[in-house]
Copies of this chain bind each other. A is one copy, B any other.
Amino acid sequence: MKPINVGLLGIGTVGGGTFNVLKRNAEEITRRAGRPIRIVTVADKNVEHARKVAGEGVKITDDAFSVVTDPEIDIVVELIGGYGVARELVLNAIENGKHVVTANKALLAMHGNEIFEAAQRRGVMVAFEAAVAGGIPIIKALREGLTANRIEWLAGIINGTTNFILSEMRDKGLPFAEVLKEAQALGYAEADPTFDIEGVDAAHKVTIMSAIAFGVPMQFGAAHVEGITRLEATDIAYAEQLGYRIKLLGIARMREEGIELRVHPTLVPEKRLIASVEGAMNAVQVQADAVGSTLYYGKGAGAEPTASAVIADLVDVTRLHTADPEHRVPHLAFQPDQVRDLRVLPIEDVITSYYLRMRVEDKPGVLADITRILADSEISIEALLQKEAEEGESHTDIIMLTHRTVERNANAAIKLIEALPVVKGAVTRIRMESLE
């Protein structure tokens, strides 16, 4: 049978992985896809490197735009990243009637609505399994595996760098800055780790998942994004004493009034499976009305795990590329005319529970003052840990876990607590999810 011709844009880590896996498992993949999938052209600025990875028999060019207009190409794989030239190339490919496979979460989170609309108009597919959680087939699970369900919420460890750092901070009791350096030395964190440690990468991914889980547009700009840079080893230790782990979660929750879309460090009960996800691994827990809770676990990054997702998309697109659009799975799980205009709620409207740590004077009545403020704000306390003051210290730590409340309430109560003369400095506040 006639092979399907792929043009690969960018042959860096993931591009190289894709090339190698397609070659190594060519027979296995053809046995499944029904026809060979071959990369016929590679575009990369570094032509020499591209030639070295791709070997002979593959056309190499430094002009990616020549690939997206090449009539010989059936599918364009975009692995350049970013949302500058990548956006232009993807839109250009679509206009030229090419199907697109991409691992570019930033692009989709920022410009997904435009891209999917263009693809819909032109009748081509844009597949993006590799954009979220690397090799874990979570997009397919959400889009096709759970179609019977009203998805209620999802919560994911979707950034390996930060999960590695948090695991190390907990294991070794070390501060963030030190572990970050270690992670950089080991190659788990990039030289400029901002996108990872500030939660931006996770926010891109949870934005994409929220769209296909709830049938809403991508609303990356409205997501609440908080990284792990200010997290202290003390809080990881206290959380552990209380039976919790701290994870950087991307959370999307459907509520009647709108959706919650947020990334922040989160206390999770240690008995939840997701709490045991260590190192650079990823996992996404999905709560849905019929199936209940399901969880998907695996490597969220790396050359071959990500290539695994890129190629799965290539096989899907290969099968359906001559089919009527109605036979295809909608890009965003829901039919394009069935996307709902449900807005992302501001963070003050989020409902969650909290871990609060405060430094207080070690004298009678302090706890009464604090708990009174919480009671007045209708915030009830689930657990409380008061440390004995260390010898010679006039202050001690109080740690509280609250029940669920609106963030606006919590903010107000925290302000009042911080205004108490017996409370020293700011209250440390970390959100908490039971994930039940």
Residues of chain A having any CB pair with chain B under 8 Å = 17, 21-22, 24-25, 28-34, 129, 134-137, 140-141, 144-150, 215, 273, 276-277, 288-299, 302, 304-305, 307-312, 315-316, 319-320, 322-324, 326-330, 333-335, 338
Contact = CB atoms under 8 A, between A and B. Distances in A.
Contacts of A141: 137, 140-141, 145
A135 B287 CA distance: 12
Nearest to A339: B31
A337 to B, nearest CB: 9
A30 B333 CA distance: 11
Contacts of A328: 319
Given A31-B338, A144-B315, A294-B298, 16 more contacts: A25-B150, A25-B289, A28-B149, A29-B148, A31-B215, A135-B292, A144-B144, A148-B315, A276-B276, A288-B308, A290-B305, A291-B298, A295-B298, A320-B327, A322-B327, A323-B327
A297 B299 contact: no
B29 A147 contact: yes
Contacts of A32: 147, 215, 330, 333-335, 338
Given A319-B327, A319-B328, A144 B135 contact: no
B148 A312 contact: yes
B305 A299 contact: no
A25 B312 contact: no
Contacts of A21: 148-149, 290
A144 B312 contact: yes
Nearest to A149: B308
B149 A290 contact: no
A308 B25 contact: no
A137 B145 contact: yes
A305 B292 CA distance: 7
Contact of A31 (B28, B307, B335): B335
A436 B25 CA distance: 21
Contacts of A298: 291-295
B297 A273 contact: yes
Interface-central residue, A145, A290, A329, by most chain B CB under 10 Å: A290
Contact of A135 (B28, B291, B296): B291
Contacts of A134: 291
A198 to B, nearest CB: 27
Given A32-B335, A273-B273, A297-B297, A147 B311 contact: yes
Contact of A294 (B129, B136, B145, B304): B136
